[in-house]
Chains A and B, each alone.
Chain A
């Protein structure tokens, strides 16, 4: 495949995006200060609105009407929040409304994360949504209490949609205003932006560019992590029609995708994620990868920012060139695409009772959590459970176990109690959310069946409402239990009470024991029967730990095994564990081995990580593999491809590949025990970096700098 180079415009946009200040808005709100200020003012102005939901809608509309339109230089697609510092006047106003802001009721729980039905937006436009809502409103009987609830929701949607259209109008004006002082070339681009915005998102999109602009504008008026779903499918008709009509080339389409993608970086604070997914199959099981799939993948190499997070759905018929391109991108240091196992994820969704059509049309909602597109009100990672933390808390209370199996079943009971208690808390949060609202009504307009049944997302309007508890530290758990089984029960070298005392002291005075656990005991990730069997047992336990529990909306709890950044935070709170991990050290990442313990190479790591059934873990699992650059380029790329294919065939859920840079190698020198799996190439063969002598490491580091 011939790759399209990034255009000069894209290079400039990237430089600008990198220069942009790191956003620091509170992670739950995703609102820049200015937007929060406007919201508070809008809230105050809507004091006479009778209900909380409607008052919130009026405040949101106020934000949309008063938000300063921002169009940055070089942009072809617009929709960028204004992150410039507050003016003195605004600071004064902020102080004035600060108290009002604190008084706005809000409930906890998870927001956003779902993929919206952008196909519908492109087909009917905002005007079409307004028309649909008005028709539905007209059929209500306002003498019936339940219809009054629906009417409230519809009214709120209309208020916000009207606000959105006002915001569009302000951008049109801004584009024309900027055109007056722009170079002739830029002026004509700005005029084109204005003309496009006069059409979308209000009306149905007619071209590929209008489609992207429509989606971007809608996304930009939502504050949160709303996913794009499967753009290579729903944008394809626009792309093909434009190509046929000569309005577009693959190059100009890619430039538009690039322009679109940079805007994510302006809207999101660090350490979050927002995504889109490409590839996969349609409801009949046919391969859907197309030219647009390739353009979205190529865009990864142009954009090279933290956002958007792009997933590739891999299945038996995924064209080889898509995998080749993915490996090339990853080898160049890109962190995307994440490689998702289409066949097994679909299988998992079918097991949850989804119809075929929905089971094929899913997306990762940020990281690796799977949610069906356009129909989801799912709460992912709610909450994160600390597996080794719960184990230690338990062992500190009790150490009188007759056997290892006795310990394991007692632990299972404890974990079940924790999961039940957490589920109850999530359900209470959902109850409170159903009373207070808070989730975007604009988002609800594009999530089925909210409009149809007249319920907001907080009222359970979405088709799918499952809650995903996430279990962190699976590998620590497996290794810890192996150590306890061998040292305490089998070899009887130490009592459980003694072991726990040593752990409470963080192995102080017992470094040889810690080293021995690390060096001589089996560890998950090395494809050893003992650990793999225990991993099977534990994952099976986790898959069923929430059986029989129901959510507030009557849905099931769907487990997950990934960790986002939580393995670090939870690790900080966790005392030393029997797997040799010192107190405060991060837990293992997702379903990978404990840091540095997988010393048998990537094939063994993959075999261990796929020795258990991933399909129940629709809430997401991930396997991270690190490779040196030379492991991934040239002929080695074919071998990486074989690793990916084997991972998929074995039923792995998601695999992400990292190509290591110099900084990582330096860290590996400082903390070799965390980097035991780092592979490097040494003229003609590969070896583990941390097993090399310091001199050799220095040599590799010096060399790597040239080739990376």
Chain B
């Protein structure tokens, strides 16, 4: 069973309890335009190019069968339109200016990487988090990975946007100890506008998972001027209150990391930037939600 993995992050300390290893799977059905992991959007591997790191050695020029890399007036140009994403340029780039994002891995390969920090999980109550992208988009792989990790005695978290057939969720239910379930908007029109996908199915899955007994941490990215109004915050609390198994609500205030990454992937349109919430604004978020629910709320 193969999957497309774009990162395996050890000592991930914000994706669930304890010290964790987060496996990032490539591809996402949503198109949130603040996305902080734009390298996880597309399903297929792609080339990440940071021209500022280029040392002008020219090794990639010869490596590329499509002649996509050229030097013009002392500037390294990358003609992405001809690129077939073979990654040979990245192999030869010792300055780490060109990287290939997304590699094919088997379940045992990923699990071996995850198992390296087993001792740390035991001492911290941590484990593996499968994230993305949207891991449910590579459902077969995700299911196999969770099962293999479960057999190895690993605590499993699944970080999901909720946009997948419920039948898929029900198949992995017993192998997931904790869902990190994203909620980006509480108004259906707004949800469509912000993420490109409807809210209804996501909410439906959310309620059905809860009913099935899944333990859930509700995670809310808050983007100034888009979804950080009091109405939304209140609705988050109201929705969470309707459920029995929400352990916590985590707020994820916007950070502009995705902005730069978009450029390096050749998607400059991903460069929309928002202001970062001030400490006092974050306090306000916590307060508004806290007023409407007994469920613990904190900044992730």
Contacts and interface: CB of A to CB of B under 8 A. Distances in A.
Nearest to B11: A601
Contacts of A686: 11-14
B28 to A, nearest CB: 17
Contact of B255 (A516, A603, A631, A684): A684
A604 interface: yes
Interface size grouping (class) on chain A: 35 or more
B254 interface: yes
B15 interface: yes
A526 B120 CA distance: 15
A520 interface: yes
Interface string B46-82: 0000101001010100000000000000000000000
A133 B300 CA distance: 66
Max count, chain A CB within 10 A of own CB: residue among B95, B124, B256: B124
A25 interface: no
A693 B19 CA distance: 26
A519 B252 contact: no
Contacts of A684: 14, 250, 252-253, 255, 299-300
B44 interface: no
A601 B12 CA distance: 9
Contacts of A694: 52
A642 interface: yes
B120 A515 contact: no
B124 A604 contact: no
Contacts of A520: 94
A527 B117 CA distance: 10
A115 B267 CA distance: 64
A600 interface: yes
A683 B253 contact: yes
Nearest to A604: B10
B287 to A, nearest CB: 18
Interface string A170-198: 00000000000000000000000000000
A685 B124 contact: no
A649 B11 contact: no
B94 A512 contact: yes
Contact of B120 (A646, A682, A683, A687): A646
Interface in B5-60: 9-15, 18-19, 50, 52, 55, 57, 59
Contacts of A516: 94
B255 A683 contact: yes
A650 B256 CA distance: 38
B123 A645 contact: yes
A527 B120 CA distance: 14
A679 B96 CA distance: 19
A657 B201 CA distance: 47
B177 interface: no
B226 to A, nearest CB: 16
Q: Helix, strand, loop or mixed for chain B's interface?
A: loop
Given A519-B96, A642-B120, A696 B10 contact: no
B57 A692 contact: no
B206 to A, nearest CB: 20
Given A511-B57, A684-B300, A601 B94 contact: no
A266 to B, nearest CB: 41
A97 to B, nearest CB: 60
A650 B257 CA distance: 36
Nearest to A682: B255
Contacts of A642: 18-19, 120, 123-124, 126
A697 B260 CA distance: 12
Contacts of A631: 13
B270 to A, nearest CB: 13
Given A603-B11, A603-B19, A683 B276 contact: yes
Contacts of A90: none
Given A603-B19, A649-B119, A519 B94 contact: yes
B116 interface: yes
A646 B119 contact: yes
Interface in B86-104: 93-96
B24 to A, nearest CB: 11
Contacts of A99: none
B94 A518 contact: yes
A685 B15 contact: yes
A490 to B, nearest CB: 18
B10 A512 contact: no
Nearest to B221: A684
A696 B120 contact: no
Contacts of B9: 601
B92 to A, nearest CB: 9
A638 interface: yes
A393 interface: no
Instruction: Kindly name the residue among A518, A519, A601, A604 whose own CB sees the greatest number of chain B CB atoms within 10 A.
Output: A601
Contacts of B123: 642, 645-646, 649
Contacts of B300: 684-685
B125 to A, nearest CB: 8
Interface string A513-546: 0011011100000010000000000000000000
Interface in B103-138: 116-117, 119-120, 123-124, 126
A607 B55 CA distance: 33
Interface in A664-700: 679, 682-687, 692-696, 699
Interface string A353-374: 0000000000000000000000
A512 B253 CA distance: 40
Given A515-B95, A519-B95, A694-B52, A600 B10 contact: yes
B112 to A, nearest CB: 10
A692 B256 CA distance: 11
A515 B18 contact: no
Contacts of B116: 527, 603-604, 607
Nearest to B273: A695
Nearest to B58: A512
Contacts of A679: 11
A686 B19 CA distance: 12
A684 B14 CA distance: 6
A425 interface: no
B93 to A, nearest CB: 8
Given A515-B94, A639-B19, 15 more contacts: A515-B57, A519-B93, A636-B13, A638-B124, A639-B18, A643-B19, A643-B120, A650-B119, A682-B255, A682-B257, A684-B300, A685-B15, A685-B300, A692-B257, A699-B276
Those 7 A-B pairs whose CB atoms lie nearest each other, nearest first: A642-B124, A515-B94, A601-B11, A693-B260, A516-B94, A642-B123, A683-B255
20 contacts: A511-B57, A515-B57, A515-B94, A527-B116, A601-B11, A603-B116, A639-B19, A639-B126, A641-B124, A642-B124, A642-B126, A643-B19, A643-B120, A645-B123, A650-B119, A684-B14, A685-B15, A686-B14, A692-B260, A693-B50
Interface of A: 511-512, 515-516, 518-520, 527, 600-604, 607, 631, 636, 638-639, 641-643, 645-646, 649-650, 679, 682-687, 692-696, 699
